[in-house]
Amino acid sequence: MFNSKIIIGGDKFDSKDSKRVVIKSPTDGSEIGTTELATKEQVDEAFKSAKQAKDGWMNTPLYEKYQIFKKISDELNERKQEIAKLITEEISKPLKDSISEVERSADFILSVAELKRSQNGKSNSGDSMKGYLKNQKTSIVEMIPVGVVLCISPFNYPINLSVSKIAPALIGGNTVVFKPSSQGSLSGYILAEIFNKYLPSGVINFITGAGSEIGDYLIEHEDLDMINFTGSTEVGQHIKKISKVPYLLELGGKDFAIVSNNANIEKSVKQIVQGAFSYSGQRCTAVKSVLVIDSIYEEFMTMLKEETMKLTVGNPIDNTNISCLINMKAADFAEELANEAIAKGAKPSWEPKREDNLVYPLILEVSDITTRILFEEQFAPILPVYKVSSIDEAIHLANRSKYGLQADVFTNDINEAFNMARKLEVGTVQINGKSDRGPDNFPFLGIKASGSGTQGIEESIKAMQREKVIVINL
């Protein structure tokens, strides 16, 4: 049994209420560890610790920060097999993908530090303005930290989507209170331990607990200066309503793939299958609905079914393509959407199959536009496909979605590709490729119900800093 603790000021604590939750493997239900449930008093202590450490960390020379980040990155790489195995046990992610997540996170940390070393402030000169300014002025614009940042990460990328918040916050001079999802908290604890091993006390504090108990208390805390959150749209909208500080939100997605009659069908199919079924579809950037031009529909569907049938299903430690969903609730919701679609005339590619929270891959040929799964985020390996008569119809349907994260367009006509890209109401359009997060130096953003603010290495650092202007009168 792996037992995670609360980390405040570099020290480890149990819950003051002696409450903890057992973390079970989604794959077989076995108990793999426990996580402490922090009290509101411990939340106060975490923020106090971060606030006290703020000035010292802000004034730490950049070269020292770089050396710390290098050590953290190196340790993640050295321990990637151990950490990846825990990720796989905790969230049922294929082992090879868990290893890749740790490697990517280590690279991200180093890239953040290297970029910050090359960033400079700026200066402006100003002459007299019609007699209003008597003297020449020069301004120096410095980027300074916002203060204490609350970093909240989801279950599906417990290392990478934590690092993508923590590293830019820290390199920008902020201190952090880090709260992971309960399912993912064991992996998050290992990450917090590694950061605390090299950072001064209080620079990063690790809090675990039920969102229903301490969620709002964290978000509304008087010592909080900014929120960086990845999770459901429902929780993100709640943060928008009650937050009194700036926020960076990465929320849900309903990423449509549009396949033109000018597309390379074989390439489109391979990309869509990878995009829809990787990690069982439990990704905000997963391909979640496909719109296909009617003239190529039959050929596309034949190839799509053949490619999907190649997917392997089973234990993630064996690097299968499809593994258990995170819990029974997720599987129940996926089955509900599939059943509703079939009741409305959708044609399943084969007999739907489910074993507890293991949902087998399924393609649904949807004919009724009111079918929920066309527009609701399924977060499961079930892919709806709908036949359209024109690209304009496809764009209209995709833009009906309340989400606006990414969209994929498949066509060999570059003019058609850019025309579609400009009309789609999303943060990112992928041309001839599956929706995806990254490379990490690219901006990453969602509009509408998919988020607020822009992430990426450079963008995240800037988002968690503010400008300070110093004016020299000459």
Q: Which of 284, 365, 377, 459 is catalytic?
A: 284
Residues of the chain with confidence (pLDDT) below 70: 119-123, 127-134
Tens-place pLDDT, residues 265-290? 999 999 999 999 999 999 999 999 99
Q: Spell out the alpha helix ranges (H) of 59-131.
A: 62-78, 80-91, 95-118
Q: Domain 255-448: which topology?
A: Aldehyde Dehydrogenase; Chain A, domain 2 (3.40.309)
Q: What are phi and psi of 316, to 5 degrees?
A: -65, -20
Tens-place pLDDT, residues 29-86? 999 999 999 999 999 999 999 999 999 999 999 999 999 999 999 999 999 999 999 9
**Whether 363 contacts 305, CB under 8 Å:** yes
CA separation for the pair 430, 94 (Å, rounded):
25
- Of 376, 409, 402, give the one whose Cα is nearest residue 288: 376
CA separation for the pair 462, 203 (Å, rounded):
19
Q: What residues contact 386, with CB distance under 8 A and at least 6 apart?
A: 289, 290, 291, 292, 366, 367, 369, 374, 397
**Model pLDDT, residue 352:** 98
Query: Which tokens belong to 282?
Result: 């439990």
Query: Which tokens belong to 158?
Result: 């417990």
Q: How close are the terminal C-alpha atoms of the chain, in Å?
A: 67
Q: Is 250 considered catalytic here?
A: yes
Query: Which tokens belong to 370?
Result: 């009111």
Looking at the DSSP assignment, which residues form a beta bridge with residue 348? 364
- Order of strands, sheet of 20-24, starting from the edge strand that comes earlier in the sequence: 2-3, 31-36, 20-24
Looking at the DSSP assignment, which residues form a beta bridge with residue 330? none
* Ramachandran sector of residue 280 (left: φ over 0; alpha: ψ -120 to 50; beta: rest): left
DSSP state of 200: P
**Model pLDDT, residue 130:** 59
In order, the DSSP letters of 236-301 are HHHHHHH--S-EEEE----EEEEE-TTS-HHHHHHHHHHHHHGGGG-STTSEEEEEEEGGGHHHHH
- Of 206, 161, 169, give the one whose Cα is nearest residue 43: 206
Q: Which of 45, 250, 458, 459 is catalytic?
A: 250
CA separation for the pair 306, 310 (Å, rounded):
7
* C-alpha torsion sign, points 359, 363, 364, 369: positive
Count of positions (residues) in the chain = 474
Assigned CATH for 2-251+451-473:
3.40.605.10
- DSSP-based three-state secondary structure for 209: coil
Tens-place pLDDT, residues 390-414? 999 999 999 999 999 999 999 999 9
CA separation for the pair 447, 57 (Å, rounded):
33
**Model pLDDT, residue 133:** 57
**Model pLDDT, residue 211:** 85
The average confidence (pLDDT) of the chain is: 95
DSSP state of 441: T
Q: What are phi and psi of 438, to 5 degrees?
A: 115, 180
Burial environment of residue 234 by CB neighbours within 10 A (0 to 12, 13 to 18, 19 or more) = exposed
Give the Cβ contact number of residue 12 at 10 Å.
15
**Whether 403 contacts 253, CB under 8 Å:** yes
Q: Is 89 considered catalytic here?
A: no
Domain ranges of the chain: 2-251+451-473, 255-448
**Whether 179 contacts 218, CB under 8 Å:** yes
Q: What are phi and psi of 450, to 5 degrees?
A: -95, 0
**Model pLDDT, residue 129:** 58
Query: Could you identify the residue written with the tokens 């709640």?
Result: 238
